[in-house]
Structure 1
């Protein structure tokens, strides 16, 4: 094998290793909170942020229905720091047909 082929093979191997590590790091950043993988919460962001959000889609509703929403009440006061409108959370939960947690019933 010539020097150019060896160099290309080494670069390809390095790229493959970097991509593998990046995928592993992304998985590590995801942690379960209230029975929901934190990466899955992004499926609901379109329905909870912005001026005229669309209704929650099926992927978001699956996340909502899997979540322990009473547990999620502990994080209610942190929502706006993530760009999420707390008022829209209740509407999204209702739209998905899930039970409204006690912290949002008022």
Structure 2
């Protein structure tokens, strides 16, 4: 505790705290920008109501816009994995989403 009271160490401690805060902000920014099959986590969240639950609503305009930029063959590769259910997404509903957005799903999907 005596070290923290030293006036010589206060600027160093402040610099370390600022550096750690800067790193946290950059990590949060990077994670918010991560993409899966060319669709961001935020865009996935836009579609989540339409691919979960027993009576899902139609996809929103934002969801369909995001889906139009997604790599559909890549997304289809997850249809039999545990990844979608782990995110609370029903794979069967997810595979029907392109048609609900007026898009053609890949043949192997």
- Same structural fold, with TM-score higher than 0.5 when normalized by the shorter chain: yes
Offset, 1:22: 6.1
Structure 1 unaligned residues grouped into runs of 5+: 1-17
Structure 2 unaligned residues grouped into runs of 5+: 1-20
Note the 1:87-98 alignment, pairs <5 A: 87-98=92-103
Q: CA RMSD in A?
A: 2.2
**Higher Rg:** 2
**In the alignment, is residue 55 of structure 1 matched against residue 58 of structure 2?**
yes
The residue that corresponds to 1:28 in the other structure is 30
SS at match of 1:75: coil
Q: What is the TM-score with the length of structure 1 in the denominator?
A: 0.68
Q: What is the TM-score with the length of structure 2 in the denominator?
A: 0.67
Q: Identify the match of residue 89 of structure 2 among 84, 99, 105.
A: 84
**Which 4+ stretches in 1 moved above 4 angstroms?**
20-23
1:11-40 per-position Cα deviation (integer Å, ceiling 9, x unaligned): xxxxxxx6x876543321131222222222
**In the alignment, is residue 64 of structure 1 matched against residue 67 of structure 2?**
yes
How many residues align? The count is 88
